[in-house]
Chain A
Amino acid sequence: MQTVLSAENIKVQFGGVIAVNNVSLTLETGQVLGLIGPNGAGKSTLFNAITGFAPVSTGKVTFLGRDVTHEPAYMRTRYGMGRTFQTERPYEEMTVLENVLVAAFLKNAHRKDAERVALASLDRVGLLDRAHQLSSDLNLARLRRLELAKALALEPKVLFLDEIMAGLNPPALKEMIELVRTLTATGMAVVMVEHIMEAIIQLADHTIVLASGNKIAEGTATDVINDENVIEAYLGTD
């Protein structure tokens, strides 16, 4: 096991609002880290700060031994971070295959190689039969899988999944959980922001609970869901 990612005392402040307050985390190869918390807890902001889509006010992000705290998002991608977006961001005027091709070009300069990687990614998420359709014609569940295919085509070392399971029906959820499991088996580390507890319980090696920007609990999934602070954060007190 090797530490691939560490975030130390991350604080993200937008004007007077502190969205993330002194949160630290570490991640090792093949590990799945779950980030949970009620709406507005700062999960997505923390996620964005680590991947370079939100500015870090104080603190330090180290990725594969490199200080990336102030590196732009595209550099972090080149170092090996791959992410999905909670609100899908397809390239709407491109086909499904072309969408993934853009990502596959990162590590494959030649079209043939890139196309092979893109097709393999589409196959993995079960979108191969949609490859030549326009991405703007996909429904929501498929757009979400397209997001994942795009991230996979980057061949990342750490995969960041932002609520990838939301809105999936039970069989699709099961498939997605299975898919993430096969990825971690290859050594890929995963950080997932998720509301679906079933996915967290089945996948996460370690879970961090955020509320109002603060880390209020961490540990195994079963530990944290029985934690009093966590129950209070979700349901409020009497």
Chain B
Amino acid sequence: MNKHILILVGLFVAAALYPMTPAAFITVGISVLLFTGWATSWNLLGGWAGQLSLGHASFVGLGAYFVAIGSSQFGLAPWWSVLLAMLVAAVMALIWGKLTFGLRGPYFALSTIAIAEILRLIAINEGWLTGGASGVFIDTLPEPMGIDLFDKTTQYYLALIYAALTIAVTIYISTRKFGYELKAVRDNEEAAMAAGINPTVIKLKAFVLSGMLTALGGGIYGVFLSFIEPHIIFNLLFSVQIALTVIIGGRGTIWGPAVGAALLVISGEIFRTTFAQANMLLYGVLILVVILALPRGLVGEYAHRLIRKKYANRA
């Protein structure tokens, strides 16, 4: 059996026990898990397929808004809303990718910024649906089998299942044809074509999958916040944070996004509570140090050195 599955099961059990410890910080835990899920989803496109997105907040926002609007305007249960959001995310990724994947270099990345901006403007201006600039509020949620979705511990477990799902998808892909197609397109498009791979199709698949999984996490985020404001959720800095989480943790790795999420969320929390004013400065320095010292990210650099060491030992 794949060792990554064992690690995932182990971590899942440990994380599932965490809320029962006396000093558990549930909201920090939820943040780590949601960022793990978003970053892992981003990684499928940004890390494995090598297409830098600075607009993944769009998908998070899509999920959150669908859940909130579904509940407040249509009385739709969040699981249906989130499925709908994933479908819309898939269509959006497909159209957006078709328009932009023909472009080379930084143009795709630039276009992703524009998409979040467009969604933000729609959310602000279509007030009849979205509540406009003041946002939308979730006041009631169904209670499936008596489970209170407003309860933070419930939300923690939802986030845990979500994070585990995204990692499981990555593990599944990593040893299969699709995983190698993604990496081939990232490393050298012409060589990939010479191997019979259609780069555009591979990138589109990655984008659709990444967008759908991100929207799923967005739905959970919507329930967690229960109040969604357009300028907060469709924020460029939020998109950048998702990307940074992976860049620091390790692009194109299985565990990089989770490591990045834990590091950034927890250190961000500590810096914020202990250093007040200096917190963004320290956060910035941390990011800089990791990028300069470990350009492949923490897990990426570790894996890279491991391969080299193994080979040196054999030879």
Residues of A within 8 A of B (CB): 51-53, 72-74, 77-78, 82-83, 85, 89-95, 98, 101-103, 105-106, 109, 111, 114, 132-134, 137, 150-151, 154
**Whole-angstrom distance between the alpha carbons of A186 and B80 in the complex?**
58
Asked if B133 is an interface residue, CB under 8 A from chain A, the answer is no
Chain A hits for B187, CB < 8 A: 90-94
* Residue from A51, A83, A109, A133 in contact with B177 in the complex, judged by beta carbons closer than 8 Å: A109
A83–B304 alpha-carbon span in the complex (Å): 29
- How many angstroms between the C-alpha atoms of A189 and B292 in the bound complex? 49
Judge whether B266 is part of the interface by a CB distance below 8 angstroms: no
Task: Report B's interface with A, CB cutoff 8 A.
Answer: 175-177, 180-181, 183-184, 186-188, 190-199, 252, 304, 307-308, 310-311, 314
**Contacting pair B191 A134 (CB below 8 A):** no
Taken together as a complex, chains A and B put the C-alpha atoms of A7 and B287 apart, in Å, by 55
Asked whether A91 lies within 8 Å of B188 as measured between CB atoms, the reply is: yes
Query: CA separation between A172 and B234, bound complex, in Å?
Result: 59
Within 8 Å CB of B196, what residues of A?
74, 77-78, 103, 106, 154
Q: A130's closest neighbor in chain B, by CB?
A: B311
Q: Residue B190 contacts which of A53, A92, A109 (CB distance < 8 angstroms)?
A: A53
Q: Which residue of B175, B183, B314 contacts A91 across the interface (Cβ within 8 Å)?
A: B183
Q: CB within 8 A of A106: which of B188, B191, B195?
A: B195
Other CB < 8 Å A-B pairs besides A72-B193, A94-B187, A111-B175, 19 of them?
Answer: A74-B195, A78-B196, A85-B191, A85-B194, A89-B188, A90-B188, A91-B188, A93-B186, A102-B183, A102-B195, A103-B195, A105-B177, A105-B181, A111-B177, A114-B177, A132-B310, A133-B307, A134-B308, A151-B194
A/B interface sample: 15 pairs, CB < 8 A: A53-B190, A72-B193, A74-B194, A74-B198, A77-B195, A83-B194, A90-B191, A93-B187, A93-B252, A95-B307, A105-B177, A105-B180, A105-B181, A111-B175, A134-B304
Which B residue's beta carbon lies closest to that of A96? B311
**Known interface pairs A111-B175, A132-B314. Does A89 touch B190 (Cβ–Cβ under 8 Å)?**
yes
